Amino acid sequence: MTDYAYQSAIETAAAVANGSVSSRDLVAAAYDRINRLDGPINAVVRRDEEAAYAAADAADAAVSARAALGPLHGVPITLKDSLQTKGLITTSGAPELADHVPIEDAAPVKAYRDAGAVIIAKTNLPIWAGDVQSYNDVYGTTSNPYDFGRSPGGSSGGSGASLAAGFTPIEIGSDIGGSIRNPAAMCGVVGHKPSYGLCSAKGQIPGLPGSLTQADIAVVGPMARTVADAKLGLDLLAGADDWHGHAWTVELPPARTTTTRDLRVAAWLDDAECPIGSEIGSMLEGVTTLLSEAGAKVDTEARPDFTFTKALATFDQLIGGALSGSWSNAEIEELAAASDPEGGFGTHHAAQRHRSWLSANERRLQMRRKWKTFFEDWDVCLMPVSPRAAIQHDHSEPMTSRIINVEGTERPYTDQMAWMGVIGVVYLPSTVVPVGLDSEGLPVGIQIVGPFLEDNTCLAVAQMIEDMTDGFVPPASFQ
């Protein structure tokens, strides 16, 4: 059988549809690959073999009957363990949920399943999806396929690692502080953080199972190895939620342009508030050079009319409010008393008064308007994902006392969230696409930020960059 491990979801679905391969054989091949290769990375943490083979057989029967087929028909996939999956233990890395078996699919899971995907397993993450590394007391630590001593990022680290290792062609991540974009960059794959509210996250953990709230800033979105697959994933996930579906439909505007000669690019590639390593900086600058040489208008000085510092402070305050529902009142008071205001992650804002939140929200709205004005002159803004490539495993506590090394300089651990947080807080879409490997063989990604609800423009520019570079490069141990 042809090796489909690194085929795209689109290619694999086409092969199933035309009879080149059966879904059952693909499922068997995926489990065989996981059995052989997952040990050092521990990306896949819970399997569903009986249900997967039954779904694969049904998919093959539909092909034989010449029934209508969905765009992921018969394609075996893994899914992040924060997404409730009917009949399959879903823990979000929390010991309290070690035996939790959902009775229905989360909305994003249903979207992929309705498109014909065959769910074979769940992938690892940090407890309650709350870190930029991926480890927990239920399933242990997930490692980066490019270097087992390093993190794959988080919180969708198992998703990124599963993609990079060839276990799945498409995944679903969740993102409040970069949890799609960070592991996409660390694992050399594509991740799209949708415009806030575009994709229903109902059934995502956290909140607790049964919660109906979609937290501020938080989104779900597609992860894949190709931009085309990420675009397909977004098309499947986008749409009105249960509250609005009886009256609203979603029709995203087309990309502003699909050719570089008509593209206007602002490049915000460094800032003193969160400095970027020189090698990553050079790689990102190389992307702007490629775009410019292909005819795009590129400006490395253009900025929206506010500072990075202001945007980051607003994110810090508002994410504190967004995360406050995860803690009890007693825990919030303890956090408010003990947290270092310089420690990040917004924990010291969990106990803020609503009046303070309203003030921060107004600052956000003012920045959203300035971004809107900015995008009258520019189609996208290119930005870093993180100051550095994948970090060594670091599980020291408390989390906020951790540091990262950026070319010999110690920086706060939370700097890994900064370039993503300033975009998430203003609800903008962002696509991360790989741009190459650094001198240590670690992936580097770039963040393509676009206007609100113009997700297709982000993806179109990501496609341009993918076409100009090597795109996804499989890790040596998994080729």
Helix 9-17 with 23-37: angle, nearest 10 deg: 140
Which residue, chain included where needed, has tokens 């800032």?
A: 271
Instruction: Please tell me the distance from the alpha carbon of residue 128 to that of residue 113, in angstroms, as a whole number.
Output: 24
Active site residue 179: yes
Q: From 27, 79, 73, 29, select the one nearest 49 (Cα to Cα).
A: 27
Alpha-carbon distances, residue 210 vs 84, 87, 214 (angstroms): 10, 15, 12
> Is 401 annotated as catalytic?
no
Peptide bond into 152 cis (omega under 30): no
Amino acid of residue 417: M
Which of 155, 162, 339, 430 is catalytic? The answer is: 155
Catalytic residue among 92, 162, 179, 195: 179
Q: Which of 230, 239, 163, 159 is nearest to 193 (CA)?
A: 230
Q: By C-alpha distance, which of 183, 180, 282 is closest to 233?
A: 180
Residue 210 structure tokens: 């049964």
Confirm if 459 and 255 have CB atoms less than 8 A apart: yes
Residue 474 tokens, joined: 């499989």
- Identify whether 206 is preceded by a cis peptide bond (ω within 30 of 0): yes
226 near 190, Cβ under 8 Å?
yes
For residue 324, indicate whether it is catalytic: no
Q: Which of 8, 80, 122, 200 is catalytic?
A: 80
- Give catalytic residue positions: 80, 155, 179
